[in-house]
Amino acid sequence: MSDASQKEKLRQHFARRVTTQARVVLDTWQKIHTNKGSFTAHREELRSATDKLVRYAQRFEMAGHVKTGKTILGIIRVWPADTPLDDTTERKLQDAIDALARSTLRRTDQSCTEAPHQFRRTPVYIALASADMANRLIRQLEFFGFRASAFDSAGELTEACALHKPETILMDVNFGGSPNAGIATIENLQARHDTPIPIIFMSDEDGTIQTRLRASRCGGEEFFYPAVDPGQLIEKIETYTHSNSVEPYRVLVLDDSRAQAKFMETVLKRAGMTAHIITDPMEIIDALDMFSPEIIILDMYMPGCTGMEIARVIRQQDRLHSVPIIYLSAEDDVTKQLHAMSLGGDDFLTKPIDPKHLIATLHNRGRRARSLLALMIRDSLTGLYNHTHTLHLLDQEIGRARQKNQPLCFAMIDIDYFKRVNDTFGHPIGDRVLRSLSMFLKQRLRKTDHIGRYGGEEFAIILPNTRPGDARDVLNEIRERFSELQQPAGDREFNVTFSCGIAAWNNGSSQNLCERADRALYTSKEHNRNCVTLADN
Judging by DSSP bridges, how do beta strands 295-299 and 325-329 pair with one another?
Answer: parallel
Listing DSSP states for 82-126 in one string gives TSPPPHHHHHHHHHHHHHHHHHH--GGGTT--S-GGGG-SPPEEE
Residue 49 sits at the vertex; the CA angle it makes with 48 and 54, to the nearest 5 degrees, is 95
Cis peptide before 464 (omega within 30 of 0): no
- Chain centre distance of CA 166: 17
Looking at beta carbons, which pairs linking 292-295 to residues 24 or more positions away fall under 8 Å?
292/250, 293/250, 293/251, 293/252, 293/323, 294/249, 294/250, 294/251, 294/323, 294/324, 294/366, 294/369, 294/370, 295/249, 295/250, 295/251, 295/252, 295/323, 295/324, 295/326, 295/362, 295/365, 295/366, 295/369
Rounded Cα–Cα distance for residues 537 and 508 (Å): 10
Instruction: Give 74's contacts (C-beta < 8 A, 6+ positions apart).
Output: none
- The amino acid that residue 519 corresponds to is R
- The amino acid that residue 291 corresponds to is F
Rounded Cα–Cα distance for residues 498 and 478 (Å): 10
C-beta atoms surrounding 278 within 10 Å: 17
Catalytic (active site) residue 484: no
Phi, psi of 322 (to 5 degrees): -95, 0
- Chain centre distance of CA 477: 21
Rounded Cα–Cα distance for residues 525 and 58 (Å): 56
**Strand ranges of the sheet holding 450-455, from the earlier edge strand across to the other edge:** 450-455, 458-464, 408-415, 498-504, 532-534
Looking at beta carbons, which pairs linking 367-371 to residues 24 or more positions away fall under 8 Å?
368/324, 369/294, 369/295, 369/322, 369/323, 369/324, 370/294
Q: Which of 235, 457, 458, 484 is catalytic?
A: 457
Rounded Cα–Cα distance for residues 384 and 449 (Å): 12
| Residue positions annotated with a catalytic role | 457
